[in-house]
């Protein structure tokens, strides 16, 4: 048995919705596992894990500690490995740690035997940790998930909707952050078109990781603005919720790297851009080209995805708490 700390559950008034936040911790586990689980009656459950080592050690030892803690957490929650949708690794020295991740059953890009979007970010966790991982799982009571991996993209087929997670897009052969950003968005837009989607109507969230952000962020901003204008993303339409923060890839030449999330089949009326105009101006009023947050309504729940940019070497936060709050993986609202 393992110690369960800071446990909490809630029940809604109109239907049973169980939401749990807890920390799984044990002296023998050598890692801390923070868990957030959302499970409506009769619907798919969504689970977020944030796992980081707690006992120090070499990169190989800490990776092994995470692997064991992850397996224990899945067992505790009754989750099969193939419920994994996304794992994002935060690494202290990604250039040298990439071979360790590629050899790991839960670090390997594409997910190995169980399809999963896997993202590697050179972005140190708390002091002493060589790795930390955010893992997102979906458990469907009706049966196994329908997933496929092609290159850097994972598709999760939910019937009328297909959720697409794309990781590790970069253009290291180009010299500047401006050129790399343009090439990344060009490649991603071409892929969207092949999948009968586009930037304006289907992309919900992007994560942009910038090496030496004090130097390279300006090129990203200008390039993205010009690219968005060509594709209909303007103050009169909308932008995309996004992070633009310090982060590196395993290729030292990559000044910019992008992860992205899009939903095929989503309707415009399902999407709401989050504002607080009584207290905050619209983002485009101060010249930026991203939304603060995006809500996507489904039949029984809603996803809320926050976006933010930082000028400096700051981490994105605990994805299970103050970054993205996921509250459904379902079908279009009203259908």
Residues 181 and 104 in one domain: no
**291: Cβ–Cβ under 8 A, 6 or more apart, which residues?**
238, 239, 240, 241, 242, 273, 274, 283, 307
Judge whether 253 lies within some domain. yes
Contact 52, 124 (CB under 8 A): no
The reported pTM is 0.87
Judge whether 168 lies within some domain. yes
Judge whether 56 lies within some domain. yes
Mean pLDDT computed over 15-25: 70
Judge whether 153 lies within some domain. no
Residues 133 and 185 in one domain: no
pLDDT tens, position by position, 154-203: 999 999 999 999 999 999 999 999 999 999 999 999 999 999 999 999 99
| pLDDT value of position 307 | 64
> Among positive and negative, which fits the CA dihedral 154, 307, 52, 24?
negative
Last residue of a domain, one of 142, 172, 202: 142
Mean pLDDT of the chain: 86
Q: Which domain holds residue 294?
A: 158-335
| pLDDT value of position 314 | 28
54: CATH: 3.30.1330.40
pLDDT at 208 over 90: yes
Residues 132 and 212 in one domain: no
pLDDT tens, position by position, 52-79: 999 889 999 999 999 999 999 999 999 9
Domain count along the chain: 2
For the chain, how big is the Rg over CA atoms in Å?
Answer: 19
| pLDDT value of position 9 | 57
Judge whether 202 lies within some domain. yes
| pLDDT value of position 317 | 31
pLDDT tens, position by position, 303-324: 988 765 544 332 233 333 233 3
Residues 98 and 233 in one domain: no
């Amino acid at each position: 048995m393992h110690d369960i700390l800071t446990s909490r559950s809630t029940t809604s008034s109109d239907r049973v919705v169980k939401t749990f936040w807890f920390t799984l911790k044990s002296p023998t586990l050598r890692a801390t596992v923070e868990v957030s689980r959302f499970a409506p009656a009769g619907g798919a459950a969504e689970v977020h894990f944030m796992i980081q080592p707690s006992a120090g050690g070499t990169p190989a030892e800490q990776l092994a500690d995470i692997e064991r803690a992850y397996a224990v957490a899945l067992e505790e929650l009754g989750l099969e490995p193939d419920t994994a949708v996304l794992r994002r690794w935060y690494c202290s020295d990604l250039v040298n740690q990439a071979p360790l991740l590629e050899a790991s059953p839960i670090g390997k890009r594409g997910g190995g035997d169980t399809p999963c979007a896997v993202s590697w970010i050179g972005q140190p966790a708390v002091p002493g940790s060589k790795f930390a991982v955010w893992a997102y799982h979906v458990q469907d009571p009706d049966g196994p998930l329908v997933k496929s991996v092609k290159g850097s993209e994972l598709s999760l087929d939910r019937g009328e909707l297909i959720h697409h997670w794309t990781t590790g897009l970069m253009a290291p052969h180009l010299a500047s952050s401006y050129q790399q950003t343009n090439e990344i968005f060009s490649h991603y837009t071409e892929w969207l078109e092949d999948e009968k989607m586009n930037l304006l109507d289907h992309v919900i969230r992007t994560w942009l990781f910038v090496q030496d952000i004090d130097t390279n962020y300006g090129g990203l901003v200008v390039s993205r603005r010009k690219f968005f204008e060509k594709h209909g993303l303007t103050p009169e339409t909308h932008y995309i919720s996004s992070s633009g923060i310090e982060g590196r890839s395993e290729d030292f030449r990559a000044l910019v790297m992008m992860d992205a999330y899009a939903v095929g089949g989503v309707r415009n009326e399902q999407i709401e851009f989050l504002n607080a105009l009584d207290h905050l101006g619209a983002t485009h009023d101060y010249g930026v080209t991203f939304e603060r947050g995006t809500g996507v309504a489904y039949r029984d729940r809603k996803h809320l995805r926050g976006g933010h940019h930082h000028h400096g070497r700051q981490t994105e936060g605990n994805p299970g708490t103050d970054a993205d709050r996921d509250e459904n993986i379902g079908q279009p609202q009203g259908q």
